[in-house]
Amino acid sequence: MDVQTAAVPPPRAGAAEGSEVSAEPAPSAGPGSAIELVGIAKTFASRRGTVAAVERVDLVIGEGEFFSLLGPSGCGKTTTLRMIGGFEDPTEGQILLHGKDVVGVPPNHRDVNMVFQSYALFPHMSVFENVAFGLRRKGVAKRDTESRVREMLELVQLEGKADRRPRELSGGQQQRVALARALVNRPRALLLDEPLAALDLKLRQAMQLELKRIQREVGITFVFVTHDQNEALTMSDRLVVMNAGRIEQLGSPREVYEHPRTRFVAGFIGTSNFIRRPVRSMEGDVAVLDSGTDERIVVPGARGRRRGRTPRRRHGAPGEDRADRAAALGRPLRHPGACRGGRVPRHVDAVRDAVAGRHLTDRVRAERGRRHRPR
């Protein structure tokens, strides 16, 4: 059980480049922002008053980025995506697509396309007609339409299926038609609402690679909604973890995985256990916890908790040092004076990755001995 943090492989291949263990700065959106959400909120009127689906979301998604919205069911991912696509109007806030405020602009006048969770392929049209639908609405010349559709079907490897009806295709093929139908319009951003959720595991993994390949090939911004953390961690350049209509954390997959900013993120990402044990000793910023047996629990980043309330969460703040990061983690500390000025905390809450077996510092919470009730 004596586990160290060094030299642990990244969450999944391709999740993030670089071999540094500590958090890299999240690649920020950069100057060419494709989508900006400014103080977005959405409430639905329901029979019992109003439901807040999204509360104050601020987000900047960069040009050409593969960006994921990750979160549990009902956290507002779909609602956020639908607001970008123009299917819902935000109750509050602004949506900027390439710098232009598009609130109130109908979907057919927005330069983004959507891949629906149900695919929403037109059942009365052939694959070809489905893919050609958008071009025909825009009055693209017949010959151009033909060649662009063929080209797109080639990209998604469905050349021979042009005359089929959607119902004659497998789930994965339907999914690719939906993708082709959206991409053929050359949108400036593609919105994908859990496009892989209906596929079985094997196909899903194949399609994940496929999606990545296509995104690289076309170089379009992808906004990808999923409740599958593996999917988000493997595919994204950056992601946000959402909970109850709010953003919990924004960052690169590696950042979010290794340095969950809140207890929620720590619990949601990875398979982890929370452990609270008394501190046996403190070596630098590594706490050694008493496991109750002969084993030791070693927790890095357990030092440097500031006294009093923790500062507000800071999104995407790059390059914090460990002490700062530890301070930024967690909820307001209810036990002031716990570990001030290098004092050794009595007890520490640690997040333990149940798969990799190592300890992630989520929050380090010390308690006075007297108040501590052993479990």
Partner 1 sequence: MSAVLDRPVQAPQRTRHPRRWRGWLLPTWSWLVIGWLCLPIFVMILFGFNNTQGKFNIKWQGFTLQWYRQLFTIPDLTNALEASLSIAVIVTVIATILGTLLGMALGRYKFRGIGSVNLLLFANIAAPEVVLGASLLSLFLTVGIPRGYWTIVIAQVMFSIAYVAVTVRARMAALDPALEEAARDLGANGVATFFRVTLPLLMPGVMAGALLTFALSIDDYIITSFNAGQTVTFPLWVYGASRNGVPPQVNVMGTLIFGFGVLLAVAGAAINRRRQA
Ligand X SMILES: Nc1ncnc2c1ncn2[C@@H]1O[C@H](COP(=O)(O)OP(=O)(O)OP(=O)(O)O)[C@@H](O)[C@H]1O
Minimal distance, residue 198 CB to ligand X, in Å: 12
Residue closer to partner 1 (CB basis): 134 or 172: 134
Minimal distance, residue 255 CB to partner 1, in Å: 32
Minimal distance, residue 225 CB to ligand X, in Å: 7
The residue to which tokens 């979160």 are assigned: 71
Structure tokens at 220: 């379009």
Residue 303 interacts, among ligand X, partner 1, Mg ion, none and using kind-specific CB cut-offs from 5 to 8 Å, with: none
Residues 325 and 23: their CA atoms lie apart, in Å, by 10
Residues 43 and 325: their CA atoms lie apart, in Å, by 33
Residue closer to partner 1 (CB basis): 29 or 178: 178
Contact pattern for ligand X over residues 36 through 65, marking x by CB under 6 A: --------x-x----x-x------------
Q: Residue from 99, 106, 284, 341 that binds partner 1 (CB under 8 A)?
A: 106
- Does 226 sit near Mg ion (CB under 5 A)? no
**CA separation (Å) from 266 to 71, 219, 287, 293?**
12, 32, 19, 25
Tally of CB atoms within 10 A around 196: 26
Minimal distance, residue 117 CB to partner 1, in Å: 8
Residue closer to Mg ion (CB basis): 81 or 180: 81
Residue 99 interacts, among Mg ion, partner 1, ligand X, none and using kind-specific CB cut-offs from 5 to 8 Å, with: none
Minimal distance, residue 78 CB to Mg ion, in Å: 3
**Residue 158 identity:** L
Single out the segment in contact with ligand X by CB under 6 A; choices: 67-75, 158-166, 271-279, 296-304. Answer: 67-75
- Per the CB < 8 A criterion, the answer to whether 81 and 35 are in contact is no
Q: What are the strands of the beta sheet with 66-70, ordered from one edge?
A: 112-115, 189-193, 221-226, 66-70, 238-243, 246-251
Q: How many residues of this chain interact with partner 1, rule: CB under 8 A?
A: 25
Single out the segment in contact with Mg ion by CB under 5 A; choices: 77-85, 142-150, 260-268, 342-350. Answer: 77-85
Which residues are paired to 272 by β-bridges? 353
- Per the CB < 8 A criterion, the answer to whether 41 and 15 are in contact is no
Residues 103 and 110: their CA atoms lie apart, in Å, by 10
Q: Identify the helix (H) or strand (E) that includes residue 209.
A: helix 201-218
- Does 68 sit near Mg ion (CB under 5 A)? no
Within residues 73-102, the interface with ligand X by CB under 6 A covers: 73-79
Angle at 58 between CA 105 and CA 264, to 5 degrees: 130
**Residue 308 identity:** G
Contact pattern for partner 1 over residues 113 through 152, marking x by CB under 8 A: xx-xxx-xxxxx--------xx--xx--------------
- Does 98 sit near partner 1 (CB under 8 A)? no
- Does 85 sit near partner 1 (CB under 8 A)? yes
Which residues are paired to 189 by β-bridges? 112, 221
Minimal distance, residue 195 CB to partner 1, in Å: 12
Residues 260 and 257: their CA atoms lie apart, in Å, by 6
> Which residues contact ligand X (rule: CB under 6 A)?
44, 46, 51, 53, 71, 73-79, 227
> Which residues contact partner 1 (rule: CB under 8 A)?
85-87, 106-108, 113-114, 116-118, 120-124, 133-134, 137-138, 165, 167, 181-182, 185
